[in-house]
Amino acid sequence: MSAPITVLRDTHPLPVLDACKWEKLEGDPHTVNLNAYTSEDGSKIMGTWICTPGKWYVEYVKWEYCDFREGYCIITPEGKEPIHLRAGDIFIVEPGMKGTWEVVETVRKYFVFA
């Protein structure tokens, strides 16, 4: 069993470039993942995600918490209205969400997948 509390104060995650598995639809977006924590079984991940402008088709299989620190994007769930998200927004994406994720201005977000 892992420790009941994991302090991430002094983490130094290695950048992982263009690890995004989503399908690119427009532009030439590039990503950087800075994973600061991964659970022992790999089911939970948290860190920082940076993405340059472009558009992706997304299919979520996990729950995600997002805290936007920089940038602007538009997420459009299939059959729904676009959701405009900017620095300062905090939101949750539920498993099963399908649609598009368009990065308009380079995004930096904290994330937790569970």
Domain boundaries, the chain: 13-113
Listing DSSP states for 7-33 in one string gives --TT--PPPEES---SEEEEE---EEE
More confident residue, 100 or 19: 100
Please name the CATH architecture into which domain 13-113 falls: Sandwich (2.60)
At residue 111, the pLDDT reads 96
Q: What is the pLDDT of residues 89-111, one digit of tens each?
A: 999 999 999 999 999 999 999 99
Mean pLDDT of 29-55: 93
Q: What is the pLDDT of residues 49-87, one digit of tens each?
A: 999 999 999 999 999 999 999 999 999 999 999 999 999
Cα–Cα dist 113/63, whole Å: 6
Does the pLDDT of residue 1 top 60, yes or no?
no
